[in-house]
Amino acid sequence: MGTLIMLELKKLFFKKRILIVWAGSLLLSFVSIRAFSIEETYADIFSKGYGLAPLMGIVMFMIFSAAYTLEYSSNMSGLIKTTKNGKREIILAKSIAAGISASIINISVFLTVALSALTKFKFDGLNIPLKSLWYFGNSGSNITVIQMILITLLTIILGSFFFAQIGLFLSSISKSAAVPFIFGGLIMGLPYILEGFLSGIGLSKYLAFTPLWGMMSFQLIRYKSSTITPIILIIIFIVGLILLHKFTLKAFIKER
């Protein structure tokens, strides 16, 4: 299984176009942070971190979109299906590799933003509470900057694996890589697009139950989501991971 995961990682991740877009995202992440007061700069960790979510989505779904369509177009799917238990191992290896790839992409972007800000003040003020940062408005949260960064890193990993399963499932039922890229991107990006509209009519709190806000968990603090929201999101993620993996397996082994 370890060898299969490594092979899938190379196949999914190490492509010239993906590496170029990823490198561009990291550069943009670093230069997007400028030195103002410590509170304003640290607020930008979360403001710019969320603002870069569309770029994360583009790189992620570039990785996932062709995961199965390439197998179909090269007729490798037929060969894989003939191997004893091969199809199940391949699909599991793809799932793990895609989750790892997405986690690396998303964590690297968010960490670059965070480190760009923290190094400007030599890591001072890590215990500043979020309620002191403009981005969190009247949240009143006593969670500190470093605590929120660590929590976000954990939820980014969970969210990355969830979005990876969405991308793989869409790829497994599609003949074209464009379909999972477009629809996967919409699933991730709609909450980002809708936030501005819903904020104006006081309905933005309902975005708390979307996978994007679950992954970028500081949004839950910013909008003072209820304490049960994280529990519901964890259930959504776990159930989604299980069901999407099963649906992908079913779609792949289905005769075409």
Q: What is the rounded average pLDDT for all residues in the chain?
A: 85
- Give dist(CA 12, CA 31) in Å, integer: 28
- The answer for residues whose C-beta is within 8 angstroms of residue 103's C-beta and 6 or more apart is 156, 157, 160, 161
Summarize pLDDT for 24-77 with one digit per residue, the tens.
Answer: 999 999 998 888 899 999 999 999 999 998 888 888 888 877 777 766 666 665
Residue pair 229/149 in contact by the 8 Å Cβ criterion: no
Residue pair 33/44 in contact by the 8 Å Cβ criterion: yes
**Cross-strand bridge partners of residue 144:** 129
Lowest-confidence region among 1-10, 77-86, 199-208: 77-86
Structure tokens at 105: 């992409």
pLDDT at 233: 92
Q: Kindly state the average pLDDT of the residues 141-161.
A: 95
- Give dist(CA 44, CA 29) in Å, integer: 11
Q: Higher model confidence: residue 144 or residue 58? A: 144
Q: Kindly state the average pLDDT of the residues 180-197.
A: 80
Q: Higher model confidence: residue 75 or residue 203? A: 203
pLDDT at 9: 79
Residue 117 has pLDDT above 60, yes or no: yes
Percent pLDDT > 90 in the chain is 42
Confidence category of residue 185, pLDDT binned at 50, 70, 90:
confident
Residue 127, Cβ neighbours under 10 Å: how many? Answer: 9
Q: What's the pTM?
A: 0.86
